[in-house]
A and B are shown apart, each in its own frame.
Chain A
Amino acid sequence: DTAVSQTPKYLVTQMGNDKSIKCEQNLGHDTMYWYKQDSKKFLKIMFSYNNKELIINETVPNRFSPKSPDKAHLNLHINSLELGDSAVYFCASSLLGDRGRYEQYFGPGTRLTVT
């Protein structure tokens, strides 16, 4: 009965590789997010999708490309990985819509280590 799930939980890869992180939510939400948490624990929004459409795109390098095949899934693909991409990436979801609520629920995170 996991609400927001991410795979994989840990990802270790070398510089220059391309990798993907998957996220799924079973809460019936229509909006999903990707956050990056750096080594100092700071959480920062990267992207947000509402009903499969991109609505928030912060100043993230275009090596990062989110893809939302449907409302319940938001994947993050990263090309040409760099050392500075090492962080924990969190997926979150919320319900906007006409009677939207503000609460965002987070997944367990994916720890990405680039060597």
Chain B
Amino acid sequence: GENVEQHPSTLSVQEGDSAVIKCTYSDSASNYFPWYKQELGKGPQLIIDIRSNVGEKKDQRIAVTLNKTAKHFSLHITETQPEDSAVYFCAASKRNSGYSTLTFGKGTMLLVSP
């Protein structure tokens, strides 16, 4: 089955700095890569995603890049703010007989200090 590795497990940055979280996946058939943000006591919230036919996608301060050959994808957050502090999860998915399953990385706790 699919295996998703995520690094680092913890990331501390100063407000205004950039943050980068990296993930690798094992199944070359995976074709959808979402990122979720989970705040304390809440459910994971989809913040950005990318499909395998695209190399990069941006949405304001966040961007995701995908390297299919190397089977890795990354989340980039620029101009970090204290409210960006949360646990971030990457995931990989593929369509299989009409349904898809998400395999998650183990999460990165991002701490943004004012």
Verify if B3 is at the interface (C-beta below 8 Å from A). Answer: no
Specify the main secondary structure of chain A where it touches its partner.
strand
- Determine, out of A11-19, A76-84, A98-106, the stretch whose residues face the partner at the interface: A98-106
Chain A interface extent, by class: 20 to 34
Interface presence of B102 (CB below 8 A): yes
* B99 engages A102 (CB within 8 Å): no
* CB contact list, B22-45 vs A, under 8 A: 32, 34, 36, 38, 41-45
Which residues of chain A are within 8 angstroms of B46 by Cβ–Cβ distance? 103-105
Known: A45-B102, A56-B101. A102 touches B89 (CB 8 A): no
Q: Does B73 contact A (CB under 8 A)?
A: no
Which of B36, B99, B103, B106 is within 8 Å of A40, CB to CB? B106
Cross-chain contact B106 with A109 (CB below 8 angstroms)? no
Nearest-Cβ distance from residue A47 to partner chain B, whole angstroms:
11
Q: Is the CB of B45 within 8 A of A96?
A: no
B interface residues (Cβ-Cβ under 8 A, vs A): 32, 34, 36, 38, 41-46, 49, 51, 87, 89, 93, 95, 98-104, 106-107
